Each structure stands twice: as C-alpha cells, then as structure tokens.
Structure 1
C-alpha cells in the first residue's frame, strides 16, 4: 500500500530569476473597471457598445479576464511513496493549455510533455496537468512558461532530474505579422541527468516527439 504525501503547490523558488513572473494569486481584477475600459475600446474601434449584440460584451470580457487570471491555487501536489519506481523514466504528455502572449494579448496553445526520474516516490499524474494550467493563467512567453513548469517539478520532486518540452501555436504569428498559420515553436528545458545522460535525454526526446510532433 502506498503512502500519499500532500505537498502545497507553491512557487518553485524564492530567488529572483529573469524568467520569474508575479504569482497569479497576488492579482486583484477590478471587473467593473475592466468592463468600462472594454466599452471605451469598442467606441474607439468604431463600434456602439449599446447596440444589440454588444450590450453585455464588456461585462463578459471582464468576467473572462477575471477567470483567466485567477486560477485555482487550492489543490495540493501529491507524491506517493513507491520504492519500485526508482531510476525509471516517467513521461507525461498530451497536456494542452491556453495562455496569452504578453506582447500582443493574443492566445497561444501550449502542448506540454514533462519527464522526471523518481527516487522513492512518484508524483500524482493529475498534478502535471494542474501545474501546467496554473502557470498558463497569465500573460506569458513560451520560454518562461517552460522554465516555470520545470522549476516547480524540480522543487516538487526534490531533484533536478526534470525535462519539459513545449510546442506552441501562437496566434500572434498565425493571424498577424507574417501570418504563418503552420508555424510552431518548440522549447525545452533539461536539468540534472537529462543534461548529462545522453541515453536518458534521447529517451525523453523520443517520447516528447511522439506527443508534440503532430500538427
């Protein structure tokens, strides 16, 4: 019988890092003010916020911003004692989350694959998805998102043997600027043995490619 150890899902490190960002839980969204600003934006775009179809748009947009930037931080990251899992490669893929490009405020879809080498205990599988969802709930860049997930997993497992690969579809590149709809961005963070063990690194790359290599 395995023993579950509940651990709070917290910011991976208190040290200042160039990729660090404010925790979503520290934000306060004034939805009334946001709705006013959205209404003003509609006017500046030549629209009438009082017309049919737009009457409730500012309120709905404000509510969405509040929901998006206020993720649920109440869940705990749980690890389970499991001595038989020592020295195995564990890879969790197929995680798809939405975030917003902080340069253009346009959506980006991020497909995440994460791997680690457990030692004495394993991370509850659903926690990988919750970690990805929580970090996606902010204005972002893909590079920082990738780093944040890797740092939290390293803190959670107590080891640097963590690798994270992210494949992003960015609407700021697909629907504006060069408008390259098929463009995709791949970022990867490797730590601990994933940096020094060529076999382990290759194994993760094979799994990650099978998970995020599609269209």
Structure 2
C-alpha cells in the first residue's frame, strides 16, 4: 500500500516530516481539520500516523496458509467450529462491525486443520465488507478447499453503523449460508441446529 508519489515537505506536518499529498496520513489530517480539530495540538500530533498504520495493518492482513488438510477419520463426519469472533468494516459507512461465526461442514476425504477456520474467517473479514457476503465468502472457500459441498456458516454481528449513527439502536444481525445437505430439513440440519444452540450464539432458524 506504499505510495509512489514524491514526498512533500510541509510546515503543516509535525516536525517538518515528509507527507504525501494522497497518503493516509494526509487524509487523516484533513479529516481532523474538517471536523474542527487542530491536528497539531497535543494528543493529536501523532494521530494521523496511528490512523494510517491501523488502516494498513487491517487491510494488508496476511492470513497465511489456509489449505492444510488431513486424511478424514471417517466420511460424513460433522465438524462444527463455534464462537469465532472477527472484526470487519462496513463498506457503506467505513464503520466496524464484529461478527461471531459458527462454521460446520461434513467431511469427505479431507479434514481442514482447525486453525485454518480462523485464518479463512480473518482473510475475508479484513476488507470492506457486508455481513451477508462475509459468511458466503467463508463458506465458498471452505467448500473449495475441502471438496465438500456440505458447508454451513452462521454469522451474528453487531454493526456500529447502526448502533453509533442513524437510529442508534443496538441490535444483532444474523446471516447464514447452508450448502449441500444443510439446505433442507433432515437429520444433518437438525444436528447442526442442536450444536449451534449449544454454543449459545445462534438463534433458532
């Protein structure tokens, strides 16, 4: 995300430091001025740098290897990973939302390494998102990696674009993707529902 622009020396920058006309640091300073703040006052002098650093760390997140597979102990075994919390950014307002994820899949020939669920979840959360797409992206990647169409992802999130602005009412939003055997009522879906409610983070559907 490093800028290719030539740096400018500016008396507006603290300590005569280099700034870039379209850098995140400059944008942060402009934002502070636009809301009536003084970016050179004590307490805000280093805020543009911190702001830029946070954005770069969040968007440039490296998930690492997500394709670690093991031989399945038995085919058609239900694997359920619950209560994983990730943070993402609403693409409509650039405000954060947190999402608690429950992920299930029915193993075929391969089992996905446990830590890879978290890596996949963070990979798709560390971008401008909407919750509906987040759960769909996670489900699609797990299906692609494991080769199993029987994947379900349930997300339950609180969105600051609702609780901090507009109506300013706290609420939890649930979105879910059901693939394969989980799409229709049956023993697999009932089993998934039992596990999800045992986790305490999934409403009845």
Q: Where on the TM-score scale, by shorter chain, does this alignment land: which range?
A: 0.7 to 0.9
SS at match of 2:135: helix
Cross-structure match for 1:39? 29
SS at match of 2:67: strand
Cross-structure match for 1:93? 82
Which of the residues 155, 170, 177 maps onto 1:189? 177
TM-score under structure 2 length normalisation: 0.85
Quote the Cα distance in structure 2 between the aligned partners of 1:122 and 1:104.
38
8 A contact 1:80–1:122 mirrored in 2: yes
TM-score under structure 1 length normalisation: 0.81
Which of the residues 182, 186, 195 maps onto 1:198? 186
8 A contact 2:64–2:119 mirrored in 1: no
Which of the residues 144, 162, 179 maps onto 1:173? 162
Which of the residues 147, 151, 175 maps onto 2:136? 147
Cα displacement (A) at 1:190: 0.5
8 A contact 1:102–1:141 mirrored in 2: yes
Aligned length: 185
Higher relative CO (Cα under 8 Å, sequence separation at least 6) belongs to 1
Map Cα deviations across residues 19-55 of structure 1 (whole Å, 9 max, x no partner): xxxxxxxxx3549511001101100100000000000
SS at match of 2:182: helix
Cross-structure match for 2:16? none
Map Cα deviations across residues 138-167 of structure 1 (whole Å, 9 max, x no partner): 011000001000000000111211000000
Cα displacement (A) at 1:71: 1.2
Larger radius of gyration: 2
Cα displacement (A) at 1:76: 3.6
SS at match of 1:85: coil
